[in-house]
């Protein structure tokens, strides 16, 4: 148990020291154009790999809730649809319609993107190379702090509006 705790703590420190600002990390925008993480420099960004046909898909509601609660203070929630776990719809148009109609999403969203393996997007490939961490299922979350460093990662079972996630986000936001 103690060895596991030390290993997990060591990984958390390694992940926390990973600087993602080195990019450039550009994602294709589901609406056309691109999302460039450097455009959000100085702001916390929660990057979440998502899927429309997953048991965790209802977390979209919580992700939108986070965005609604904190966007005026600078938080960006970036949804990254992925079919790496074979639970995403076939086209970006289907994903966009599903998310807007079912969950009323207006948070930034990418096109369908690989998040693991040889075809992983550079953001995820660099995260894995630097820390060993990669999404092991849909709705894994990565919080990049306002300083461009990875502050925390969470698996699929961590609910977006949980205290663990909101506390970490609030620590990165300017005080009002």
DSSP tag of 145: P
- Active-site entry in 14, 21, 54, 173: 54
3 state SS of 91: coil
Q: Catalytic site residue 54?
A: yes
Rounded Cα–Cα distance for residues 167 and 154 (Å): 13
- Cα-flanking dihedrals φ and ψ of residue 124, to 5°? -75, -35
Contact between 58 and 142 under an 8 Å Cβ cutoff? The reply is no
The phi-psi region of residue 148 (left if phi > 0; otherwise alpha if psi is between -120 and 50; otherwise beta) is: left
Q: Considering only CA atoms, which of 146, 138, 145, 149 is closest in space to residue 113?
A: 138
Which residues are catalytically annotated? Answer: 54
């Amino acid at each position: 148990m103690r060895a596991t705790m030390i290993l997990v703590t060591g990984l958390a420190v390694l992940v926390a020291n990973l600087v993602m600002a080195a990019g450039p990390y550009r994602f294709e925008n589901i609406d056309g154009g691109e999302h460039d993480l450097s455009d959000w420099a100085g702001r916390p960004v929660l990057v979440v790999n998502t899927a429309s046909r997953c048991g965790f898909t209802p977390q979209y509601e919580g992700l939108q809730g986070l965005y609604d609660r904190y966007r005026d203070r600078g938080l960006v929630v970036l949804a990254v649809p992925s079919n790496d776990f074979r639970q995403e719809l076939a086209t970006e148009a289907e994903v966009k319609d599903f998310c807007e109609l079912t969950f009323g999403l207006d948070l930034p969203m990418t096109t369908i993107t690989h998040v693991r393996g040889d075809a992983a997007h550079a953001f995820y490939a660099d995260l894995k190379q630097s820390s060993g961490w990669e999404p092991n299922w849909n709705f894994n979350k990565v919080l990049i702090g306002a300083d461009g460093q990875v502050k925390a990662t969470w698996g699929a079972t961590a609910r977006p509006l949980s205290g663990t996630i909101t506390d970490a986000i609030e620590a990165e936001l300017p005080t009002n």
